[in-house]
Structure 1
Amino acid sequence: MSAQEKYMESSGNIFKDLGFKQPEEMQAKAQIAYHISQIIRHRHMTQKEAAAELGLTQPKISNIMAGRLDGVSLEKLMLLMMKLNRDVEIVIKKKPRTRKHAHLNVVYA
């Protein structure tokens, strides 16, 4: 690596690394949208079929599947997962003392 090349170690959240506001929420939304897309693809559904099943328009499904999530709340994505027959469990716990800030994490089981 030359002296001019610079790099930054990732925090594990691309939205945080790029300086976005509310990066943990953005990452959680992206993770859930990814899994929604995977379920739709696994079921071999068209976007039009998925839209009908989920009560959305085809363009909205297209946006979600492409990761364009402006105007889509975390709550809405969780409700879509439930419509896709997935249980959504929210667990709130005290953060460890070893970590400075609390965080939001999505676990897909």
Structure 2
Amino acid sequence: MNDDFELIRGSGNVFRDLGYHDADLRHARAVLAAEIIKALDERQWSTRKAEQETGISHADFSRIRRANIERFSFERLASILGALGREVEVSVEVRPRVQPGAPAEMRL
């Protein structure tokens, strides 16, 4: 068995590593969804209990729990967090994009 392999460090954004054109937005939405799930878990709320307490559809909470977040905008996920008593703070950093595996001289 040959143990030779190439190790490539990920960018920290799995969507970027997989080549999605909207990787940063997908990553941000996934982070918000994870925070929603975390808030529900901390309170030990079912999706029905979350609906009763927030007025947000149990089906929406169910989709989020199943990581089916394609239909949710960033703004919608942030508003759901607000309904759960969480604040969302966004900071933006802009820099040149470097493709994974790019030569070292392109990594400024």
Q: TM-score, normalising length from structure 2?
A: 0.74
1:50-94 CA distances to partner (integer Å, 9 max, x unpaired)? 12333333232111122211110000011111111112234456x
Distance verdict in 2 for CA 1:20–1:7, change over 3 Å: same
Q: Which amino acid aligns with 1:32?
A: L
Residues 54 and 83, structure 2, Cα contact 8 Å, conserved in 1: yes
1:61 aligns to what SS in structure 2? helix
Q: Considering only aligned residues, what root-mean-square deviation do their CA atoms show, in Å?
A: 2.1
Structure 2: which 5+ runs fail to align?
98-108
For 2:54 and 2:7, locate their aligned partners in 1 and report how far apart those are by CA, in whole Å.
Answer: 42
Residues 56 and 80, structure 2, Cα contact 8 Å, conserved in 1: no
4+ residue stretches of structure 1 with deviation over 6 A? Answer: none
Structure 1: which 5+ runs fail to align?
102-109
1:87 aligns to what SS in structure 2? coil
For 2:48 and 2:23, locate their aligned partners in 1 and report how far apart those are by CA, in whole Å.
Answer: 30
2:96 corresponds, among 83, 88, 100, to 100
Q: Which residue of 2 aligns with 1:70?
A: 70
Structure with higher helix content: 2
Query: Which has the higher Rg, Structure 1 or Structure 2?
Result: 2
Residues paired across the two proteins, number: 96
Q: Which residue of 2 aligns with 1:80?
A: 80
1:7-50 CA distances to partner (integer Å, 9 max, x unpaired)? 53211100011111210110111011101101101101111111
Q: TM-score, normalising length from structure 1?
A: 0.74
Quick check: 1:56 aligned with 2:52? no
Identity %: 26
